[in-house]
Structure 1
């Protein structure tokens, strides 16, 4: 399940130089599954990247696939104690030749995984009629694609939307947010919801400097017509980027209506306890919201000039090449089965995640899912507002850290938006490729 923190700490420390570790070996241009015999006896290793409950579901699905294909045995494990550490484990495994056939990966790792030379080229595979590639949201397909080559299959889709506490709005005498809200509407409501006497804030934002800090800014940048990169050159310090960050700064510094979370871990619990009126978050928040029992609802993000773009943080299944066509082909067949509409209902919908494919919207499982998880229908509908993807380039993770640090400085009043973004752009120059 997607982790809202998106810390990626270990990978950022290493600057994710997988291509340097491996020299780009293994990408010969030959199809990794050429000569695949579907009847061959194969053992696959699958790093699921899941926590305990989801790992148990993964084990059941691996057993179900084995029952359908007795010649294929799938050994499952989380791969690491937390999903954030998987890229570090993969990097070490590439160097030592001990890496899995299939691994969970955050979408922001796609460029570095492609640069390693170990990811299978899945372009022809996913574009077969049987795979039904276009049923998966466009932003997720973009995230799995690096330089025109599909290097992974989306495992999970999500997006950021506005979640609000209905009781706090009622108490303040405010009309509820709508899908047509502007950021001025959001700011005005945040000011009116803020009450220093009760230590209640209108909204909240992470200032940890992690990807959770950074990716919340990208929708505001895109809504303004800005870009993260122009080619491989940082472009976020543009007038559009400054305007996007200023939108947040005025709430944090001028209005003092924004709770600043130093850890990524406090703002959702504070919202769930009725201390924050609005948060920008994703469908992973629904479980804790349900357990908290508060009255909440979900709308699309506020927008600029009617543009309500959001950001999606798709996670991936990366299939790795061991120079064995039978392992490569069996891994493809398993992931095609795993990500089919029928199996995805037993995986993502069963775990409370959004459905991976558009065709699942018409299934009885989806109807049950939206009933069980209030707000999930809005998150599903909001996928249509995820029109762009974060850059799938090597070096993105360090760029993200530089931008995250800039955002944190600005929201804490330590720098102007232009100064901080200029500094982040300077640090990020030459990082991506």
Structure 2
């Protein structure tokens, strides 16, 4: 099914319900319960999975493959692409456009998901799962990403919510209370001001240089990046306000490095671990850094709390990934079964948060207890603190990025034009107009392709 420019991406993330796994459908958790039977008793099936060289070398990856084969009898062979995520998707783009039949494709973020769905490269999983009686709706609920209303191409293998990590030593030295519970961006800024100490080279805040940061406030308010007619909605005042707000943090308030400093000094994404930043606003995936004392030795303690909110949009932001099946796969049922198994079990290997919504309270509590145990004991991070930071039941949830018909192009345009404003080379109004104009041109070009 080809997805047109009018397709609506419904990305709904994060949620726990107090029901038990026993309340799910009658399908067993064991993958492909009868792989040999489905193959007519013939030789066991081998399916291929695109991964980066880094992923292929991880001990957890090898354990995942071994455990899956032990349960299903199906071999998952890695199709390794050297390099990082950008390199792997260049390779996959070429292969899929030429009709390549590697079975499994890792979907790292909503941008990749939307692109591959729009290009009609992915296999819808709805019918396969319904045929076997698997209730994926009950298992993943509002964490499912759907296209054209209800088409599902992948199951979420975890969820990433944005949070604030903070340096307890800097807070203590400034005699500032640790942040806790619901708070606003105004409170975040006031806290960062108190923590910033230029004479000691300490900034109160740090944020990554992602395109989504430039429209963060608009996204939290749930402002769509597209108008009803499919054109760019970047002339909505919320996007202008969001860009100016972010720019002021570094250029005017100076509570964090300016965009120019980040780029000219090549400040890395993990700069918080230098101990010179009071707070780090970033996705929960960053937890690996404070947990790793070998790579990031420190004599200060880390805390974590929930995302600040905008009064006009009490929403957290987040994203999810997963594995999709190539539409040209020669083993679609086996591939779909691995997608299901991986989505259910990946958190056990990664130490992250499952996207399943039908866990019992006991199962959910164990997840957060295990997550807390991965931090150094000296940090004093508890399972309750992590649950409060990640689940944020008092907030709604919205996707972190604009996706839609031109997901990659939209982000690139925002970064390119937004940078000109942030470094003082273009006015705010001219920047917003340029983003709107270029996005409309890209949307129009895409519509002719479809």
Q: Which band: TM-score by shorter chain?
A: 0.7 to 0.9
Match of 1:198 among 189, 192, 200: 200
The match for 2:60 is 57
Q: Deviations over 1:17-54 (max 9, x none)?
A: x99xxxxxxxxxxxxxxxx9723442210123472577
Match of 2:334 among 330, 336, 339: 330
3-state DSSP of counterpart to 2:315: coil
Following the alignment from structure 1 to structure 2, what is the Cα–Cα distance between the partners of residues 323 and 180? Answer: 46
Q: Deviations over 1:107-163 (max 9, x none)?
A: 21122211332210123345676343344363x423x53564222222332021122
The match for 1:405 is 416
**Maintained 8 Å contact 1:300/1:308:** no
Match of 2:78 among 51, 67, 76: 76
Q: Deviations over 1:265-304 (max 9, x none)?
A: 7354331122111121122211211224432222222222
**Maintained 8 Å contact 1:49/1:79:** yes
Following the alignment from structure 2 to structure 1, what is the Cα–Cα distance between the partners of residues 429 and 181? Answer: 30
Q: How does 1:30-429 map to 2 (within 5 A)?
A: 38-40=38-40, 41=43, 42-49=45-52, 51-52=54-55, 55-70=58-73, 72-106=74-108, 107-125=110-128, 130-136=134-140, 138=142, 140-142=143-145, 145=147, 148-207=150-209, 213-231=210-228, 232-260=230-258, 261-262=262-263, 266-290=267-291, 291=293, 292=296, 293=298, 294-305=300-311, 307-322=313-328, 324=330, 327-340=331-344, 344=345, 347-360=346-359, 362-363=362-363, 364-373=366-375, 374=381, 376-382=386-392, 385-388=396-399, 390-429=401-440
Q: Deviations over 1:232-286 (max 9, x none)?
A: 2221332111122222222211122221422997354331122111121122211
Following the alignment from structure 1 to structure 2, what is the Cα–Cα distance between the partners of residues 47 and 184? Answer: 44
Going from structure 1 to structure 2, the CA distance change for 1:417 and 1:354 (only over 3 Å counts) comes to: farther
> Structure 2 length normalisation: TM-score?
0.76
**Maintained 8 Å contact 2:163/2:305:** yes
Q: Deviations over 1:157-213 (max 9, x none)?
A: 202112222221222222322332221112222222222211211212344xxxxx2
Going from structure 1 to structure 2, the CA distance change for 1:391 and 1:149 (only over 3 Å counts) comes to: farther
Going from structure 1 to structure 2, the CA distance change for 1:304 and 1:117 (only over 3 Å counts) comes to: closer
**Maintained 8 Å contact 2:222/2:398:** no
**Maintained 8 Å contact 2:402/2:411:** no
Following the alignment from structure 1 to structure 2, what is the Cα–Cα distance between the partners of residues 78 and 283? Answer: 27
Going from structure 1 to structure 2, the CA distance change for 1:280 and 1:230 (only over 3 Å counts) comes to: same
**Maintained 8 Å contact 2:163/2:390:** no
Following the alignment from structure 1 to structure 2, what is the Cα–Cα distance between the partners of residues 126 and 366? Answer: 29
Following the alignment from structure 1 to structure 2, what is the Cα–Cα distance between the partners of residues 427 and 46? Answer: 36
Following the alignment from structure 1 to structure 2, what is the Cα–Cα distance between the partners of residues 424 and 402? Answer: 6
**CA root-mean-square deviation:** 3.0
- CA drift of 1:407 comes to 3.2
Stretch moving more, 44-53 or 81-90: 44-53
* Structure 2 gap segments, 5+ residues each: 5-34, 376-380
* Structure 1 gap segments, 5+ residues each: 1-17, 20-35, 208-212
Going from structure 1 to structure 2, the CA distance change for 1:223 and 1:330 (only over 3 Å counts) comes to: closer
**What is the aligned length?**
385
- CA drift of 1:359 comes to 4.1
